[in-house]
Amino acid sequence: MHDLAAALSTAASLVSSLDPRVLAVVSLSVQVSGGAVVLAALIGLPLGAALALFTFPGRGAVVVVLNACMGLPPVVVGLAIYLLLSRAGPLGELGLLFTPTAMMMAQTVLVLPIIAALSRQVVADLWEEYGEQLRSLGAPRGSVVLTLLWDGRFSLLTAVLAGFGRASAEVGAVMIVGGNINGVTRTMTTAIALETSKGDLPLALALGLILIGLVTVVNAAVFMVGQAAKRGMG
Amino acid sequence: MLRRIFMAAVLLCSLAGQGMAQERFITLASTTSTEQSGLFGHLLPMFRAETGIWVRVVAVGTGQALKLGERGDADVLLVHDRLGEDKFVAEGFGIDRRDVMYNDYVLIGPKDDPAKVKGVKDVAEAFKRIGAAKAAFASRGDDSGTHRSELRIWKAAGVDVKAAGSGWYRELGSGMGPTLNTAAGMNAYVLADRGTWASFKNRQSLAIVLEGDKALFNPYGSILVDPARHSGIKSADAKAWHQWLTGPKGQAAIAGFKIGDEQLFFPSAK
Amino acid sequence: MVGRDGSILPLELSRVGFSAGGRPLIRDISLRLEAGSRTLVLGPNGAGKSLLLRLCHGLLTPTGGSIRWGDGAMAAEGLRRRQAMVFQRPVLLRRSALANIRYVLGLMGMPRHRRQAAAMAALARFDLADLALRPARVLSGGEQQRLALARAWVMEPEILFLDEPTSALDPAATQAVETAIQDFHGSGAKIVMTTHDLGQARRLADEVVFLAGGALEERTPASIFFKGPASARARAFLAGELVC
C-alpha cells in the first residue's frame, strides 16, 4: 500500500513538473509506437482486406499463420531485427541499430499481424453483407478493398488501437534493437524495466502509471472522434 | 486520404529522427552493473565537455556485450570477465585491452542470517555454510561476469550446486537488479557487485553479510573493437574515449564517483 | 444510352439448372426475355424466384445449361455495366446519399467533375434532393429503397432486376417504388421483378413467369394469366391455396 501511494505521488509530481527527461521518454514512446502503428496500418489494412476478398490456393494456411503471428514474442522479433541490422548482418551498412528507426521497424513487425488479422475479419464480415450488392454494381475487386476498408472504418479503428496497445506496452523488442540508450532510445517501457532493475519500484510504477494514462488518453481521443463521426454517418 | 496518411508517416519518422541530433557519438557496450550504479551518468558529461563526443551506452550482460563487439555493433567495450576479454582479443575481435578499474563483490543476505555467515572472513567458507544450512540462495544464472565468479566460489567451497536441485539454490536467469529484487522478495543470500548494491533501493531486509575477501575482487577492462573487422567502426573517437578513461582525467573521475560517502570503483589503469 | 453498340437483350436461358449441396433448386428452365416488356416472376415461397433473378443477373453461376445475352459475343464486364438489380433490402454504403450515387458514377467511369451534378439530378428525380447529405444508413426503409433505385437509375440499365423490392415497405413507400419502376420502363428498360403482392403484379405486369418447385410452370401474358392461368398450380396459387 505504501509503495502504491509513493508511486502515485511520484507520478503526479513527474507529470505536474513536466520533468524534461520524462517528457523526452514519453515523446519517444509516442513517436516510435505511433510511427509503427501508422506504418503497420498502411500495410496491414489493405493486406487484411485483400486476404478477405481474394481467394487463392493456400489462403487458409496464410490466415492461420497470420492469426498465429498476433502472438509473436517481442523478444524474438527484436532478435530477428537485431540480426538484420547488426553491422555483421545484411542491412548493417545502414547503421540503423540502436536508433528509434530500428525500434519502429521492430514494432511494425509486431503490430502488422494484429492489424492485418483483425481487418481481415472485419472485411470478411462486411463482404458477407455487401458482396452481392457490390458485385451487382460491377465494382472491381481492387476497388472493393478500399470501399470496404472505408465502410468498416469504425471497427478497423479498434484493430489499429489494439496494435497501438501492443506497441506501447512491449519492452522486449525495443530493448534489444534500441539498446535502452539514455536520451536516445529510452522509451517508457525500457525505462520502467531499468528502474525496476535498480530496485526503484515506486519510480518504475509511477512511469507505468504515466504510460497507462497516456494510452488511455489516446484511446479516449480516438473514441470521441469515432463517436462524432459515427453520429454523422449512421 | 492515403496521401495524407503517408505524409503523416513521413512526419512521424522524421520526428523520431530528432532524438538523433547528437551528431558525433560512439557506441559503448557495457554491463548492467556499471550502468545501474550510475557511474556513466558521472563520467560521460565530463568526457563530452572535453571532446564533444557523445557516448551511447548499451548496457547488457558481459557475455552479450562481447557478442555485440564481435558483430561490430559497438565501437568499444567496458566489461568484467578477464577470461572472456582475453579470448575476445586473442580471436582478433578486439585490440588494446586495458585495465580500467575494479570494484568488488559483496555477499548479501537476510539480516537474521540463517546460515550464520556474519563474522566469517573467507567467502568460500561462507558459501559452504549456506550450502550446509540449505539457506535460500539467489543466483544470476545468466552466464554474466558475476555469475561466473559466483560459480568459481562454489567450486572452491566444494558445494555442488547442480546437485542442489531446485530447492534452496535458485537460478534466476536475470540481470543484477532483478536478481536483487527477487532475493529481497524471498529473503535469500545473493552475490552482488558493490556498485549495483550501493544504488539499489528495494533492499527490504537484506544487508551486506560479508565483504573484503580477495576472492571477491572484480576488475573491469576496456577493449577497442578491431576496426579492421567491420566497416563503420568509429575507431578514432572510440580511441579517444579509451585513452581518456585509462588516462589521468578518466581515472580521477572514476575515483571521484561516490554514492553517499562510499567510493564504488577504484581506478587501476597502469 | 449514347455510345452503346447493340443491345444486350434478348436474354436467353436454355435448360438452366442450379443445385446447392446436391439439392436441385432450379430445374431445366428455358426462357427468352425480350426487350421492352415488364416480366413479373411469381410463385409460392421456395419456388426459386430470387434464385432465377440472381442466375440471370450473373450473381450465381448455373450448374447446368447456359445463359446467353444478345448475340452472345459481349464481354462479361460490358454486360454487367448494362444491367442493374434492386434487392429486397438495399445495401447502402456508410456515407451520404449523394456519395452513394457518386460512388456508382465513379464505377461507371464518369469523370470526377461531372459526378456531383449527375448524382444530384438522380436524387431529385427520386425525390431525395433534400436528403442528399444525410447518411444513407439513417434514411427510412422507403427512402433507402428509393436511393437504391436512384443508384440503379444512373447506371442507365437496359434491364432492371427487382427482387421483392417493396415487401418491407408501407403502402406510401410501395407506391413511390412502383412509380419509379414505371419510370424505368418508360425510359426503355426491361423490367424483371419478383413479388408476393398479387395486386402489385396486376398493376405492373405485361407478362407473368410462374415458377413452382424450381421449375417453369407457365409463361403467360398478364391479361390472360390473371383471368385464367393454364397450369393447375398457378390456378391454385391465385385462389390462395397452398402450393408447393
Instruction: Determine how many CB atoms are found less than 10 A away from the CB of residue B177.
Output: 26
Question: Band of the pLDDT at B11, cuts 50, 70, 90?
Answer: low
Question: Band of the pLDDT at C39, cuts 50, 70, 90?
Answer: very high
Instruction: Determine how many CB atoms are found less than 10 A away from the CB of residue B113.
Output: 16
The three grid cell numbers given for residue B17, joined into one nine-digit string: 529522427
DSSP state of C60: S
Q: What is the pLDDT of residues B21-40, one digit of tens each?
A: 557 999 999 988 788 888 99
Give me the pLDDT at residue C81, please.
Answer: 83
Q: With an 8 Å Cβ cutoff, is C74 touching chain A?
A: no
CATH code for the domain of C154:
3.40.50.300
Q: How far, in Å, CA of C94 to CA of A229, rounded?
A: 11
Q: With an 8 Å Cβ cutoff, is A128 touching chain C?
A: no
Please tell me whether residue C12 adopts helix, strand or coil conformation.
strand
Question: Band of the pLDDT at C191, cuts 50, 70, 90?
Answer: very high
Q: Could you tell me if residue C165 is inside a domain?
A: yes
C160, closest residue in chain A (CA to CA): A136
Determine contact, residues C48/C41, Cβ cutoff 8 Å. no
Does residue C74 register a pLDDT over 80? Answer: no
Instruction: At C41, give phi and psi (nearest 5°).
Output: -100, 115
B229, closest residue in chain A (CA to CA): A88
Q: With an 8 Å Cβ cutoff, is A61 touching chain B?
A: no
Q: Do A199 and B200 touch (CB under 8 A)?
A: yes
How is domain A2-233 classified at the CATH fold level?
MetI-like fold (1.10.3720)
The stretch B10-26 carries a mean pLDDT of: 60
The stretch B44-62 carries a mean pLDDT of: 93
Domain B105-216 belongs in CATH node 3.30.310.10:
no
Q: Do B177 and A201 touch (CB under 8 A)?
A: no
Indicate if B105-216 has the same CATH topology as B2-103+218-267: yes
Q: What are the pLDDT tens digits along chain A (234 aa)?
A: 577 888 888 888 888 888 888 889 999 999 999 999 999 999 999 999 999 999 999 999 999 999 999 999 999 999 999 999 998 889 888 889 999 999 999 999 999 999 999 999 999 999 999 999 999 998 988 889 999 999 999 899 999 999 999 999 999 999 999 989 888 899 999 999 988 888 888 888 899 999 999 999 999 998 888 888 777 665
Residues from chain B contacting residue A86 (CB–CB below 8 Å): 71-73
Please work out, in degrees rounded to the nearest 5, the angle formed at the alpha carbon of residue C16 by the alpha carbons of C13 and C21: 150
CATH architecture of residue range(s) B2-103+218-267:
3-Layer(aba) Sandwich (3.40)
**Which of A210, A157, A196 is CA-nearest to residue B175?**
A196
Give me the pLDDT at residue B25, please.
Answer: 93
Question: Band of the pLDDT at C168, cuts 50, 70, 90?
Answer: confident
Q: Could you tell me if residue C6 is inside a domain?
A: no
Q: Whole-number mean pLDDT of chain C?
A: 90
Instruction: Determine how many CB atoms are found less than 10 A away from the CB of residue B133.
Output: 15
The three grid cell numbers given for residue B187, joined into one nine-digit string: 529473503
The structural domain count of chain C equals: 1
Of B71, B178, B203, nearest to A197 by CB-CB distance is B178
Q: With an 8 Å Cβ cutoff, is A143 touching chain B?
A: no
The identity of residue A52, as a single letter, is A
Q: How far, in Å, CA of B32 to CA of B55, rounded?
A: 16
DSSP state of B97: E
Q: Could you tell me if residue C1 is inside a domain?
A: no
Q: With an 8 Å Cβ cutoff, is A165 touching chain B?
A: no
Does residue C131 register a pLDDT over 70? Answer: yes
Of A134, A135, A232, nearest to C135 by CB-CB distance is A232
Determine contact, residues B104/B116, Cβ cutoff 8 Å. no
| ipTM confidence score | 0.89
Of C85, C91, C155, nearest to A129 by CB-CB distance is C91
Does residue B85 register a pLDDT over 80? Answer: yes
Give me the pLDDT at residue C1, please.
Answer: 39
Give me the pLDDT at residue B141, please.
Answer: 87
Give me the pLDDT at residue B81, please.
Answer: 87
The stretch B113-119 carries a mean pLDDT of: 92
Q: What is the pLDDT of residues B1-10, one digit of tens each?
A: 555 555 555 5
Give me the pLDDT at residue A177, please.
Answer: 93
Does residue B13 register a pLDDT over 60? Answer: no
Give me the pLDDT at residue B62, please.
Answer: 85
Q: pTM score, two decimals?
A: 0.83
